[in-house]
Structure 1
Amino acid sequence: MSALSLDPRTARLVQAFEGLRPESLPALMALYAADARFKDPFNDVRGAAAIERIFSHMFEVLIAPRFTVTETVTEGAQAVIVWDFEFLREAGGTPRRIHGSSLLRFDTEGRVSLHRDYWDAAEELYEKLPVIGALMRWLRRRLQTPPLGSA
């Protein structure tokens, strides 16, 4: 997505997410307030270090994760970005795609103070599992980010 016509705060985030790599995490985290909150279907954390750990964990458990932002709306101190998240669970595996959106709130310095992801875990993940019970528990454990300080 071209970031030229976007609100500068939103444009920086779109660029950071679409180019996200393990080595670019510090640049992404520089766009977040120190006490920012992040919530998605698997996590609810506060603080830049905890948010960074979620994205680090993503690179540990998924192959070639990539965000593509398809739409943005910014109004005042809030933005919504609509995205597709593509990844592989294992080498040679079936490519997966999750379609979702994020509500972002900016502080007075233009940094993200709230990042809330919305996507349907049941539709995007669980329904694709052949044996729901055991695999759902395994998947939830696998996707859940370990607490800070655990390896």
Structure 2
Amino acid sequence: MNVLDDLLAWYETLTPDTLDAVPRFYDDHARFKDPFNEVHGHAGIRRIFAHMFETTESPRFVIHERIVQGDQAFVTWTFHFGLRGQAYTVVGGSHLRFGADGRVTEHRDYWDAAEELFQKLPVIGPAVRWLRGRFAVSH
């Protein structure tokens, strides 16, 4: 799926200067959802990525596996970024649906905010780790 290759190459080289390409890859009414956001349309999608560049240091995506079936794909990735000088990674996946013109109509990110982000943060991390331990099945 060449459309998917182009989209993933864009993600791996995403910069504030390349955000104007959102309409090339996303349908006018595309839906984007992740653990923190749910938006529709180019302006909302662009705003999420602009916010990412404003609030994190050197954000970048590394794409791993991809599975394509008909008009949809599932892609695994690692998101690398800095926050106040500390390096972080988030491992996740994205379910993508494509319209007839090849642009994304639906983009849903799946990742565990507690494991991948909250428990790594210095202030709330210990509490999140304690909670996760309380709900875990004993071995």
Task: Identify the TM-score tier after normalising by the shorter chain.
Answer: 0.7 to 0.9
Distance of 2:53 and 2:121 partners within structure 1: 22
Distance of 1:107 and 1:58 partners within structure 2: 26
Instruction: Give the residue type in structure 1 aligned to 2:110.
Output: Y
Distance of 1:45 and 1:28 partners within structure 2: 13
Are the aligned partners of 1:45 and 1:51 in contact in 2 as well (CA < 8 Å)?
yes
| Pairing partner for 2:88 from 85, 96, 102 | 96
Higher percent of residues as helix:
2
Distance of 1:28 and 1:47 partners within structure 2: 9
Unaligned ranges ≥5, structure 2: 129-139
By how many angstroms is 1:127 displaced?
A: 1.1
- Matched residue count: 127
Which residue number corresponds to residue 3 of structure 1?
Answer: none
Which residue number corresponds to residue 12 of structure 2?
Answer: 18
Distance of 2:41 and 2:49 partners within structure 1: 13
- Alignment root-mean-square deviation, CA: 1.7
Q: Which TM-score applies when normalising by structure 2? A: 0.86
By how many angstroms is 1:87 displaced?
A: 0.3
SS of alignment partner, residue 30 of structure 1: helix
1:54 aligns with 2:41: no
By how many angstroms is 1:101 displaced?
A: 0.3
Unaligned ranges ≥5, structure 1: 1-6, 137-151
Which residue number corresponds to residue 132 of structure 1?
Answer: 124
Which residue number corresponds to residue 134 of structure 2?
Answer: none
Q: Deviations over 1:41-71 (max 9, x none)?
A: 0001111111100001100111100000011
1:43 aligns with 2:37: yes
Distance of 1:107 and 1:59 partners within structure 2: 28
Distance of 1:131 and 1:66 partners within structure 2: 24
Are the aligned partners of 1:13 and 1:28 in contact in 2 as well (CA < 8 Å)?
no
Q: Which TM-score applies when normalising by structure 1? A: 0.80
By how many angstroms is 1:131 displaced?
A: 3.3
Runs of 4+ in structure 1 over 4 Å off: none
Q: How does 1:67-82 map to 2 (within 5 A)?
A: 67-82=61-76
Compare CA radii of gyration and give the structure with the larger one.
2
Instruction: Give the residue type in structure 1 aligned to 2:92.
Output: G
Higher percent of residues as strand:
2
Which residue number corresponds to residue 149 of structure 1?
Answer: none
Percentage of identical aligned residues: 49
